[in-house]
Chains A and B, each alone.
Chain A
Amino acid sequence: MSTLAIHNLQLGVRDRTLCDDLSVLFNAGEAWAILGPNGSGKTTLLHTLAGLCHPIAGKIRLGEHDIFNLPPRQRARLLGLLPQEHTDVFPGTVAEAVLAGRHPYKGLWQWENEGDYRAMQTALRQVDLEGLEQRRLTSLSGGERQRVAIATLLVQAPPIMLLDEPTNHLDPKHQLLLLRHLQVLVQTQGRGAIMVLHDFNLAARFCTHAILLYGDGRCLAGSVSEVVQEEPLSQLYDCQIQRLELDGRVIFYGA
């Protein structure tokens, strides 16, 4: 299983430095949360990790390759991205959107086969959209569209999953369903997950590690028990975050 590693990464937009000198090794079997206030560069970091935009400085290695030297198709079999937003120019059916995830595995003239259709149906069952294959994307609610996009990532089945606000638009039941499923994939199949989250309680509960992006160049990476704590969180979001212990469970809340 290939690992993703960043060395001395420096990110910025225009004249602003978003993150200065970040080095992290993302191992298989780890789930990372990226936390930070609006505009702190969470999505930029995720897209850079995906090899879709270049950092100002630093290296990103996927297994033994520099990620920017990998052919796009090969990269897409190792690493998948759930985008934050979905734009459908010519909206088709749920099935078409999910089967798109099989693209990196298909040759130029190959069509989807029985196996791909089965993978599509399994993924739809996992996101609780069973039987909606032929529904038009335009007829879906925001949360349902988000679950279709998650199903696309599930059939892409990359060893490393990058997710930009995966819980967007999802109701509590489906948020938990999704994060539990990701947890199972990470723990039992040795995959890696890196996700942008806004809810630090979900991060504390479902992730093993976290990166805190302060938005001014400072960043902090470590295990959840180290960095998802009152002090760093309060600094991160520039507001008082307090800790509450209830029935053996730790809950953080904005005071």
Chain B
Amino acid sequence: MPLRPYAFFSLLGLLTILSLGLALSLGSVGLTPSDLLKAIEGDSNTLASQIVLDLRLPRAVNGFAVGGLLALAGALMQVLLRNPLADPYILGVSGGAAVFTLLAILLGLSGIALHLSAFGGALLAMILVFGLAQRRGNWSPAKLLLTGVVMTSGWGALTGFILSISPERALHGMLFWLMGDLADSSRPSLGVTVLFITLLGSLPLARALNILSFGELQAASLGVNIARLRILLYLLASLMTAMAVTLAGSVGFVGLVVPHLLRLLGCRDHRLLLPASVLMGGSLLVIADTLARTLLAPSQLPVGILSALIGVPIFLYLLQRNEVRV
């Protein structure tokens, strides 16, 4: 059955509103929908209003931006590498960020300095992989993928090394960062802005991505400028991943699975898949983070754990159902 775009995006919009509504009303102080509306519109001095506007809203917005960035980056990376197993981290961007962030934690840095080291590490990893893969001018997706995977293992070893020499008091923070954590959501507008710009940047490429998934030769003969498209995809996907990693650490799963979830639902056209990935990835991470905050309250779980726990069963269910139909 062909996808009906209007109905599909209405549902995704509903999911987005629902997830944000849940994130704003659930927590140590539960709010009914009417409380929530009052808190948003009304006097900013009430406790409810402070909780919603100062604590929950920035975190929900940040979570949405990170989820959206990761899902979008995953969708682009899967076409770039022509590999359905590709996720935003497969080229080592989060590995580089992890090593630099853990070093910064080890050195006792915090706040913006942590963000800057994460972003710096992500950029360094990105430049290294790109530089190595395109030397001698020959960079097939397979070479890029292998370079990235090997670099990721290297970063993993360095991460393990830093963890094993770190004092115990630093370990908790490091582990949370490695599993993905939205506790520090002090700059929510940054992620949303980058998400908006990169989505606008990727939408004009969407039809070329459809063509590219029929193979590079077919795409080239249909007038797609492959070399330019590859570089744009690499830059966009890596920058999105670097931003997501900077804001929330390595949140696994969203980037790999959200594009596939949508494809299994029949959304294969990238002109729909890219914006749909943003909405679904964002909502999934907001719901996961709400659960991470509330399930074992007052203690909090890393959001990466919850996003995987929610996503795995949904994905497996759709995969099974789809196989029967094919």
Which residues of the partner chain B approach A109 to less than 8 Å between Cβ atoms?
204
Q: How far is the CA of A152 from the CA of B217 in the complex (A)?
A: 13
Stretch at the interface among B41-49, B96-104, B207-215, B231-239: B207-215
What is the bound-complex CA distance between A75 and B215, given in angstroms?
18
Say whether B223 contacts A86, CB under 8 Å: no
CA of A139 to CA of B217 in the docked complex: distance in angstroms? 22
Q: Is the CB of A75 within 8 A of B211?
A: no
Q: Is the CB of B215 within 8 A of A86?
A: yes
A32-40, A76-84, A221-229 - the one binding chain B:
A76-84
Q: Is A89's CB under 8 angstroms from B221's CB?
A: no
Chain B residues whose CB sits within 8 angstroms of the CB of A96 once the complex forms: 210, 268-269
State in angstroms the CA–CA spacing of A152 and B222 once bound together. 10
Tell whether, in the assembled complex, residue A72 and residue B84 are in contact, meaning their CB atoms are under 8 Å apart: no
Contacts of B78 in A (CB 8 A): 89-90
Q: Which B46-71 residues have a C-beta within 8 angstroms of A?
A: none
Task: Report the bound CA distance from A185 to B220 in whole Å.
Answer: 24
Specify which of A76, A85, A111 is in contact with B222 (CB 8 Å cutoff): A76
Do the beta carbons of A87 and B215 come within 8 Å of each other?
yes
| B230: Cβ under 8 A from any A Cβ | no
Taking a contact as CB atoms under 8 Å apart, the answer to whether B221 and A87 are in contact is no
By a CB distance below 8 angstroms, the chain A residues around B268 are 90, 92, 96
**Residue A64, interface by CB 8 Å:** no
Smallest CB–CB gap between A100 and chain B, Å?
5
* B172 shortest CB reach to chain A, Å: 40
Assembled-state Cα–Cα distance A76/B214 (Å): 16
- Asked if B2 CB lies within 8 Å of chain A CBs, one says yes
Q: When each residue 88-111 of chain B gets 1 if its CB lies under 8 Å from chain A and 0 otherwise, what string results?
A: 000000000000000000000000
**Given A89-B79, A90-B268, A100-B211, A77 contacting B221 (CB threshold 8 A):** no
B86 to chain A, nearest CB (A): 10
How many angstroms from the CA of A104 to the CA of B220 in the assembled complex?
Answer: 11
Contacts A89-B79, A89-B84, A90-B268 given: A83-B210 contact, CB under 8 Å?
Answer: no
> Which residue of B is nearest A101, CB measured?
B222
Q: Is the CB of B217 within 8 A of A138?
A: no
Q: In the complex, are the beta carbons of A90 and B222 less than 8 A apart?
A: no
Residue A244 is within 8 A (CB to CB) of chain B in the complex? no
Cα distance A75–B222 when bound, in Å? 8
- Residues 81-122 of A, flagged 1 when their CB comes within 8 A of B and 0 if not, give 101011111101000110011011010110100000000000
Least CB distance, B129 to chain A, in whole angstroms? 21
- Let me know if B214 and A103 touch, CB within 8 A: no
Indicate which residue in A106, A136, A156 contacts B207 across the interface (CB closer than 8 Å): A106
Residue of A nearest to B216 (CB): A87
Q: Is the pair B225, A86 in contact by a Cβ cutoff of 8 Å? A: no
- Tell me if B165 counts as interface (CB < 8 A to partner A): no
Interface string of A118-149 (1 = CB under 8 A from B): 00000000000000001010110000000001
Q: Determine if A52 and B326 form an interchain contact, defined as CB atoms under 8 angstroms apart.
A: no
Given A83-B215, A83-B217, A96-B268, the answer on whether A89 and B223 have CB atoms closer than 8 Å is: no
Partner of A90, one of B84, B217, B326: B84
In the bound complex, residues from chain A placing their C-beta under 8 Å from that of B15 are: none
In the assembled complex, B218 has its CB within 8 A of some CB on chain A = yes
With a cutoff of 8 Å between Cβ atoms, the chain A residues found around residue B82 in the complex are: 87, 89
Which one of B1, B79, B326 lies within 8 Å of A138 (CB-CB)?
Answer: B326
Question: Contacts A89-B79, A90-B84, A103-B211 hold; do A76 and B221 have CB atoms under 8 A apart?
Answer: yes
Within the assembled complex, what's the spacing in Å between the Cα atoms of A81 and B271?
Answer: 25
> A89-B213, A97-B214, A136-B326 are contacts. A50–B207 as well, Cβ < 8 Å?
no
**A134 touching B217 by the CB < 8 A rule?**
no
Q: Which of B217, B218, B222, B263 contacts A104 (CB 8 A)?
A: B222
A181 near B: Cβ within 8 Å?
A: no
Q: Indicate whether B224 reaches chain A with its CB closer than 8 angstroms.
A: yes
Give the contacts of B280-302 with A (CB-CB under 8 A).
none
By beta carbon, the residue of chain A nearest B218 is: A83
CA distance A103 to B263 in the complex (A): 21
Chain A residues with CB under 8 A of B223: 72-77, 103-104
Q: Closest A-chain residue to B325, C-beta based?
A: A136
Q: Which residues of B contact A97 (CB under 8 A)?
A: 214
- Which chain B positions have C-beta within 8 A of A50? 221
Name the distance in Å between B277's Cβ and chain A's nearest Cβ: 13
Contacts A72-B225, A73-B223, A90-B84; is A52 near B213 (CB within 8 Å)? no
* Known A81-B217, A103-B224; further 19 A-B contacts with Cβ < 8 A: A52-B221, A72-B224, A74-B223, A81-B218, A81-B221, A83-B218, A86-B214, A87-B215, A89-B83, A89-B213, A90-B78, A90-B79, A90-B263, A103-B211, A104-B222, A109-B204, A138-B326, A139-B326, A152-B218
| Chain B interfacial positions (CB closer than 8 Å to A) | 1-2, 78-79, 82-84, 204, 207-208, 210-211, 213-215, 217-218, 220-225, 263, 268-269, 271, 326
Chain A contacts to B: CB under 8 angstroms = 47, 50, 52, 72-77, 80-81, 83, 85-90, 92, 96-97, 100-101, 103-104, 106, 108-109, 111, 134, 136, 138-139, 149, 152, 156
